[in-house]
Amino acid sequence: MPFPDFDPVLIHLGPFAIRWYALAYISGILLGWRYMVRLIRTPKLWAEQTPTATPLQIDDLILWITFGIILGGRLGHVVFYNTSLIWTDPLEIFKVWHGGMSFHGGFIGVCLATFFYARSQGMPILRIGDLIAPAAPFGLLFGRVANFINGELWGRATTVPWGIIFPNAGPLPRHPSQLYEAALEGLVLLIVLRIATHRLGWLQKTGALSGLFMLGYGLVRVALENVREPDVGMPIFPFGLTMGMILSIPMILIGAYLVWRAHQPDKAAPAQA
């Protein structure tokens, strides 16, 4: 199946070009922002608890998150996948419009931004993370679709009927792994987290949603790395691991621990003599 004739530029405005990839980031951040506000404005999700933040605090938080995504995603790409830029062309590191963003770098950037914001407001970091987690799949969904439109991060060669011949990827059909990731990291994970917030009451369990997001994303990413073409220049890791797997395994372990801890019964305080 030939690759659809997509133009990575949505529209030209004089010397400026609005790209699908940039639009994906903007859309994911804006939808995630409004979704978080909607969560804190739905009293039944909190039972007798007070929502973690106010809408105004979410407005401030989203700015911190945006910087965390952009700076962390770019620096993560350089550190994890293109280290040679540091000494061969350091100015290229700052040219984010040339592409090259890492999810794991962006995730670390968001974690750091959340930590510093929560600390400045005197708020528990995991409670803030539990608000961000249900909204994060919006960005993943749009980002992976944009990867497909750009014809980048393609999958490994395959004989499945829906294999696609990507430009610059050789003559063999390949897995459209970007669409697999959009469906699983984006849509399915969004639904799972929605069930956790609206059916299971996990907004009332500190760390549960943060852990569920990390666990869910990590498992999906490790599984799909088996059909995703490894990045150019990556070394051969033992046991068939890829960089994406190596970075996702800690997410799985930490996420599983957070979910487990959030569901432990509270220990009653000892009686005073």
Interacting residues of 43 by C-beta distance below 8 A, sequence separation 6+: none
- Domain membership flag for residue 273: no
**Structural domains of the chain, count:** 1
What pLDDT is recorded for position 64? 95
Q: Is 100 exposed, middle or buried (0-12, 13-18, 19+ CB in 10 A)?
A: middle
Is 54 inside any structural domain?
yes
Radius of gyration of the chain (CA): 20
Domain that holds residue 34: 9-262
Report the SS3 class of residue 267.
coil
The answer to whether position 267 is within a domain reads no
Q: Which residue in 148, 210, 131, 175 sits closest to 6, CA to CA?
A: 148
Give a yes or no: residue 18 inside a domain: yes
In one-letter notation, the amino acid at residue 200 is L
CA–CA distance from 137 to each of 92, 140, 188, 271 (Å)?
29, 5, 9, 45
- Give the orientation angle of helix 208-224 with respect to helix 243-262, to 10 degrees: 150
CA-to-CA distance for 50 and 123, rounded, in angstroms? 13
What's the CA gap between 270 and 273, in Å, rounded? 9
| Residues 6+ away with beta carbon under 8 Å from 89 | none
**pLDDT string in tens for the chain (273-residue length):** 878 877 777 777 777 777 888 889 899 999 999 999 999 999 999 988 889 899 999 999 999 999 999 999 888 888 888 887 788 877 777 766 666 788 999 999 999 999 999 999 999 999 999 999 999 999 999 999 999 988 888 999 999 999 999 988 889 999 999 999 999 999 999 999 999 999 999 999 999 999 999 999 999 999 999 999 987 777 778 888 999 999 999 999 999 999 999 998 875 445 443
3-class secondary structure, 17: strand
230 found inside a domain: yes
Q: Where are the beta strands (DSSP E) in the chain?
A: 9-13, 16-19
User: Cα–Cα distance between 252 and 211 in angstroms, integer?
Assistant: 8
What's the pLDDT score for residue 97?
62
The answer to whether position 19 is within a domain reads: yes
Q: Does 3 fall in a domain?
A: no
Helix, strand counts (H, E) of the chain: 10, 2
268 within a domain of the structure (yes/no):
no
The pTM for the full model equals 0.91
